[in-house]
Amino acid sequence: MPAKTKTNTKKTPAAQIMPQEEISTREMILRRSLELINAKGMVDFRIDTLATSLGLSPGNITYHFSRKEDICAALWEQYLEEYGQVVRSLTTLLDIKQLYLLNRINIHLNYKYRGVVVFRSADLGAIKRDQQAGRVNEDEHFAMARRAMQLLKQNGYIDKNATEEIIEGTHIYHYIMTRWSINFAYQAYTPEEVEAKLDYLALMSLHALYPTLSQKGRDEFAEVLAKVSAGNLLGEKR
Amino acid sequence: MSTQVKTEKKKPQETDAAVQPKRKRGRPRKTDKTAGEKSPRGVKSEAARKTRLAAKRAGTSTRDLIIASANEIINRTGVVDFRIETLAQSLSLSPGNITYHFPKKEDIIAAIWEEYIAVMRDTTAEMITPLLDIKQLFLYFRTAAAKAIGYAGVTTYYFGDMGALLRENETFRRQIQRGRELIFASYDTLEKNGYMKPIENPEIKELTFDSQMAMLRWWINHALTKYPEQDLPMVMDKYIALSLLQLIPFLTESGRRQFASIVNLIK
């Protein structure tokens, strides 16, 4: 194993085109962990099971990650890294349709990392340890939702009569929906249905803004709604 | 999890375990009704003895006592760090006495979950009446939220662990279906009572329900990323008012007045 790849903590495009043997042990651990956590959840996820399924010794894994929570934190970092792309596509051109597309990327990412994403801030002990370790939990998400709100306001998509308070409340609502609509999906639909519902979930996040939208905003929302509920977002007949 | 860093709380318990008398061999006595009356085994702390005496007077069984005390601990530590030994120590019971009632910690967690579901069901039945207005709807959501705070450790786990979500998927879908019927009926009543206009578009109606439901279920998770868990009751009202925000486009003038007065009272 080349020493370089071991210290390579972030997933880079280069890592993806590398042949299988070149993937660092750390990367291998993270990939398999995500599969296991997606299937069984964080609480039932065991380092022993992970080691067996990779044909490694548990010691080899604890060399990279001393506790399973560290694996969870590393996957969360990876998720945030990918999520950063969403944040960077927020521009002054933002309109309702663009925000829908950003929410859609976000929900697909949430789905990919579902085991980790649904669990963040689900265990009181883990939350406390995160806070003690000074790990910021969700700030990047939160900042994005707020910025989206400001840009929409600048561009005339927010109702002129909405008070600062209502706008702030709407922003929190939107954030909570982008963050937890995936959890909602696993309660409202069968696990098999969830993947087909991702477009709807992106709409649900967007809908959090509905009460505060201007007429122009509501018209665009109606357009998105019509396309999503026709199940024809990709322009192909299903 | 064996490699996990133990908190300092764990230490005294190890010495306790050494002092603890051996449990009698064979099947433990039936404890159902007489549970509180039998002489307690194990090391007795004065506080724990009092708790149990109070429970005995109130006619609470050991089982209920275990559930209540476990819930209290989980609300502080979360389910991952929750240990039967810690629980046994806090109740001055032997771990064997607890595993007689609940063989695994998962069984205790499941029992707390059952209790939470029952509590939520009762809340629902009492609060939605034909007199419904926006203030009452707020109070109903608020009561449900206040009760949910009492089970925060277990509910955040059930609402946030993929394993739990998948295992309980059927229960959740039933709950959400019940919730949908209830909320849609509430929209109708509010309309009849002149606080709401009908939501004509069925898709918007479904979206409105979905987002109200999601807010009422996951506000605790969001709040916990911002505030320590003992502050939950203080910040609750803000989130509950937010869940009503979704109704604003459909409120009549008197509905809006009630919403505004709720917002003013919270401030």
The domain of A36 spans 16-66
Window from A2-16, A108-122, A133-147 with minimum mean pLDDT: A2-16
B211 and B90 in a common domain? no
- What is the reported pLDDT for A140? 73
Measured between alpha carbons, how far is B4 from A123 in angstroms, rounded to an integer?
15
- The reply to whether A198 falls in a domain is yes
A73 and A33 in a common domain? no
- The reply to whether B22 falls in a domain is no
A162 and A46 in a common domain? no
Three-point CA angle B232, A127, A61, nearest 5°: 165
CA distance A48 to chain B (A): 10
Q: Which portions of chain B are predicted below pLDDT 50?
A: 1-21, 23, 28-43
Chain B residues whose beta carbon lies within 8 Å of the beta carbon of residue A47: 3
Measured between alpha carbons, how far is B145 from B120 in angstroms, rounded to an integer?
9
Q: State whether residue B196 is helix, strand or coil.
A: strand
- What is the reported pLDDT for A15? 45
CATH number of the domain where residue B215 is located? 1.10.357
A62 and A131 in a common domain? no
* Residue of A138, A188, A210 lying closest to B225 (CB–CB): A138
Contact B193, B251 (CB under 8 A): no
Which ipTM did the prediction report? 0.84
Measured between alpha carbons, how far is B8 from B12 in angstroms, rounded to an integer?
8
A152 and A110 in a common domain? yes
The domain of B200 spans 109-265
Q: What is the pTM of this model?
A: 0.82
Residue at B147: amino acid letter: K
Measured between alpha carbons, how far is A173 from B31 in angstroms, rounded to an integer?
49
Measured between alpha carbons, how far is B152 from B229 in angstroms, rounded to an integer?
9
Count of alpha carbons within 13 angstroms of residue A42, beta-carbon side? 31
Window from A175-179, A222-226, B9-13, B140-144 with minimum mean pLDDT: B9-13
A105 and A42 in a common domain? no
- The reply to whether A33 falls in a domain is yes
Band (A130; pLDDT cuts 50, 70, 90): confident
- What is the reported pLDDT for A3? 44
A180 and A105 in a common domain? yes
CA distance B243 to chain A (A): 8
Q: Mean per-residue pLDDT for A138-162?
A: 88
Q: State whether residue A158 is helix, strand or coil.
A: strand
Check B222 against A172: CB less than 8 A apart.
Answer: yes
B219 and B153 in a common domain? yes
What chain A residue is nearest to B155 in terms of C-alpha separation? A122
- The reply to whether B23 falls in a domain is no
A35 or B12, which is more confident: A35
Residues with Cβ within 8 Å of B22's Cβ and at least 6 positions away in sequence, in order, are: none
Contact B128, B140 (CB under 8 A): yes
Band (A135; pLDDT cuts 50, 70, 90): low
What chain B residue is nearest to A123 in terms of C-alpha separation? B78
Band (A160; pLDDT cuts 50, 70, 90): very high
Could you tell me the sign of the dihedral formed by the alpha carbons of A179, A200, B145, A118, in that order?
negative
A81 and A48 in a common domain? no
Is the pLDDT at A7 greater than 70? The verdict is: no
- The reply to whether B9 falls in a domain is no
B130 and B79 in a common domain? no
Window from A49-53, A70-74, B80-84, B226-230 with minimum mean pLDDT: B226-230
Interface of A with B in 170-209 (CB under 8 A): 170, 172-173, 175-177, 179-181, 183-184, 186-191, 203-204, 207-208
Tokens describing residue B185: 């009926």
Q: What Rg, from alpha-carbon coordinates, does chain A have?
A: 20
Q: Mean per-residue pLDDT for A27-56?
A: 94
Contact status of A56 with chain B (Cβ, < 8 Å): no
Chain B residues whose beta carbon lies within 8 Å of the beta carbon of residue A137: 225
Q: Is B81 exposed, middle or buried (0-12, 13-18, 19+ CB in 10 A)?
A: buried
pLDDT digits (tens, 9 = 90+) for B10-60: 444 444 444 444 545 555 444 444 444 444 444 456 666 676 666 666 667
Measured between alpha carbons, how far is B241 from A120 in angstroms, rounded to an integer?
25
Q: How far apart are the first and last CA of chain A?
A: 46
- The reply to whether B40 falls in a domain is no
**How far lies B80's CA from each of B53, B197, B225, in Å?**
30, 46, 18
Check A189 against B173: CB less than 8 A apart.
Answer: yes
Tokens describing residue B151: 């089970």
- The reply to whether B115 falls in a domain is yes
Among residues B2, B114, B78, the alpha carbon closest in space to that of A125 is found at: B78
A187 and A157 in a common domain? yes
User: What 8-state DSSP symbol labels residue B30?
Assistant: P
Could you tell me the sign of the dihedral formed by the alpha carbons of B107, B108, B111, B117, in that order?
negative
- The reply to whether B25 falls in a domain is no
Is the pLDDT at A109 greater than 50? The verdict is: yes
Q: Tell me the Ramachandran region of residue B92: left when phi exceeds 0, alpha when psi lies from -120 to 50, beta otherwise.
A: left
Tokens describing residue A90: 């927020």
CA distance A148 to chain B (A): 19
Band (A87; pLDDT cuts 50, 70, 90): confident
Domain count, chain B: 2
Measured between alpha carbons, how far is B16 from B25 in angstroms, rounded to an integer?
20
What chain A residue is nearest to B2 in terms of C-alpha separation? A67
Among residues B68, B64, B14, B19, the alpha carbon closest in space to that of B44 is found at: B19
- What is the reported pLDDT for A182? 95
User: What 8-state DSSP symbol labels residue B251?
Assistant: B
CB pairs under 8 A between A and B: 169
End position of a domain, from candidates B59, B81, B103: B103
Measured between alpha carbons, how far is B247 from B250 in angstroms, rounded to an integer?
5
Chain A residues whose beta carbon lies within 8 Å of the beta carbon of residue B1: 46, 67-68
Contact A159, A170 (CB under 8 A): no
Measured between alpha carbons, how far is A56 from A53 in angstroms, rounded to an integer?
8
Q: Please state, for a pLDDT cut of 90, what percent of chain A lies above it.
A: 61
Domain count, chain A: 2
End position of a domain, from candidates A29, A50, A66: A66
| Exposure letters A12-39 (e unless 16+ CB within 10 A, then b) | eeeeeeeeeeebbbbbebbebbbebbbe
Chain B residues whose beta carbon lies within 8 Å of the beta carbon of residue A42: 161-163
Band (A81; pLDDT cuts 50, 70, 90): confident
- The reply to whether A199 falls in a domain is yes
- The reply to whether A31 falls in a domain is yes
B210 and B90 in a common domain? no
A143 and A109 in a common domain? yes
B121 and B178 in a common domain? yes
Residue at B99: amino acid letter: T
Contact status of A10 with chain B (Cβ, < 8 Å): no
B237 and B215 in a common domain? yes
- The reply to whether A5 falls in a domain is no
B252 and B220 in a common domain? yes
- The reply to whether A204 falls in a domain is yes
- What is the reported pLDDT for A206? 95
Q: Cα A201 to chain center, whole Å?
A: 12
A89 and A24 in a common domain? no
Check A38 against B162: CB less than 8 A apart.
Answer: yes
CA distance A204 to chain B (A): 6
Contact A98, A152 (CB under 8 A): no
Q: Tell me the Ramachandran region of residue A134: left when phi exceeds 0, alpha when psi lies from -120 to 50, beta otherwise.
A: left
- The reply to whether A7 falls in a domain is no
A205 and A116 in a common domain? yes
Measured between alpha carbons, how far is B234 from B230 in angstroms, rounded to an integer?
8
Residue at B18: amino acid letter: A
Residue at A18: amino acid letter: M
